[in-house]
Structure 1
Amino acid sequence: MVNDKNTKVHFFILLVVLAVFIWSVIKPAGYLTWAMEVAPAVVGLTIVIAIYNKFRLTTLSYIIIAILAIIMFVGGHYTYSRVPLFDWVKDVFNFNRNHYDRFGHLIKGLFAIVIREILLRKTPLSQGSWLFGIVTSISLSIAALYEIIEWLVSKITKGGKAAKDFLGTQGSIWDTQWDMSLALVGTILALLIFSKLHDSQLKNLSYKKYSNGKKN
């Protein structure tokens, strides 16, 4: 049986995410932009909830998924270029743009831990340089795919206001490169900082035992 205490923690995390989602949908800056921004989070959360009893992740992975979903919900509510806290930071430090979008891409590097968990539990890979490299490559590929989706949305909508808010380039011709670079940096930092904690949680899973990163 899975630790009942963990189940309660996971349920609490879900309630927090749902609360932010409800707040996000109330009078957003624009409903079309909101839908485009939050769609990936809604799809991801739906999958995670649907497979919860069949493939339960570590609490660390659920916390990361919750953080990423909340970032998207906040960005969807205000649009990434108009999040008030980062407008305040912009004014205080005399930045030339609202950096919530770039902060979001940096934090999205945390998803590397979720990728790491799936690979460790579903493939013969074990801890080491190969795992680090493959997780980093997948994470960067996802970041690149997201940029391609943004470009396609812009083309399909012919650069309308909703598309411009969705892209959130704020006039930077290097916005795509910045986004992918920050996702790469976030991925490397996440793996360096959280891998040991992640390994300890994997070892404590009552339904999946590990020894030196290998499944027994």
Structure 2
Amino acid sequence: MNSDKQRKIHVLLLSIVTIVFIWSIIKPKSYLDWLAEVSPAVVIIIIMIATYKKFRFTTLSYIIIALLAILTFIGGHYTYSEVPLFNWIKDEFDLQRNNYDRLGHFLKGLGAIVVREILLSFTPLKKGAWLSSITISIMLAIAALYEIIEWLSTKVSKGGQGSKDFLGMQGDIWDAQWDMFLELVGSILTIIIFTKLHDKLLRKKSDQTK
């Protein structure tokens, strides 16, 4: 895939993400919760755009970033515990909770590819077991940090409705542990499934920059 074609794909991804972002900001359930949910994704996208000419990720990484941003914008619009499709699944299959947040945390494990690419590009780490282990550890640390931020939000707002929507625990006292576990599993599976493809794309990117 040549550089011009890749750039067109990247622009298309950004356009789709922008459309979903605009939709998400129109009458969300709570603007405060929306802001808390989408802010990290928006910051990451801004950084990606600002550094695009200096450093370009593989298209796989951009696809992952776009997917995770879209999932975040949807969750921010409805709140993670009230996404309609998953409410329907909950009712249809008599589940105890809306599992959109469970899916979201599992899919966040895809971010391991982005972290892996950053480590290969900006650190002395080489491909192999250590790289995979450190990548997965960073993903678990990010998941834990997010849970700490959610916990702190309840302390700042003193358990208000906004913090409850942000937490999305739905009565599960082990929600934080589940979220971290699912992101860990997602990260491990991502490394197992996508490493060979990622390495191939990295080689192609390296050849294009020579």
Q: TM-score normalised to the size of structure 1?
A: 0.94
Is the counterpart of residue 80 in structure 1 residue 80 in structure 2? yes
Q: 2: distance between equivalents of 1:207 and 1:35?
A: 39
How far did residue 93 of structure 1 move?
A: 1.7
Which residue of structure 1 aligns with residue 54 of structure 2?
54
Q: CA RMSD in A?
A: 1.1
Contact 1:202 1:208 in 2 (8 A): no
How far did residue 84 of structure 1 move?
A: 0.6
Give 5+ residue unaligned stretches, structure 1: 210-216
Q: 2: distance between equivalents of 1:38 and 1:76?
A: 6
State how many pairs are aligned: 208
Which residue of structure 1 aligns with residue 149 of structure 2?
149
Contact 1:20 1:73 in 2 (8 A): yes
AA aligned opposite 1:165: D
Q: 2: distance between equivalents of 1:82 and 1:139?
A: 26
Which residue of structure 1 aligns with residue 118 of structure 2?
118
Is the counterpart of residue 137 in structure 1 residue 137 in structure 2? yes
AA aligned opposite 2:6: N
- What aligned pairs does 1:147-186 form with structure 2 within 5 A after superposition? 147-186=147-186
How far did residue 208 of structure 1 move?
A: 4.9
Contact 1:35 1:76 in 2 (8 A): yes
AA aligned opposite 1:108: K
Q: Which secondary structure does the structure 2 equivalent of 1:169 belong to?
A: coil
AA aligned opposite 2:138: I
How far did residue 6 of structure 1 move?
A: 0.5
Q: Which has the higher helix share?
A: 2
Identity among equivalent pairs (%): 62
Which residue of structure 1 aligns with residue 189 of structure 2?
189
Q: Which secondary structure does the structure 2 equivalent of 1:80 belong to?
A: coil
- Structure 1 residue runs of 4 or more that deviate by more than 3 Å after TM superposition: 206-209
Q: 1: distance between equivalents of 2:124 and 2:79?
A: 41
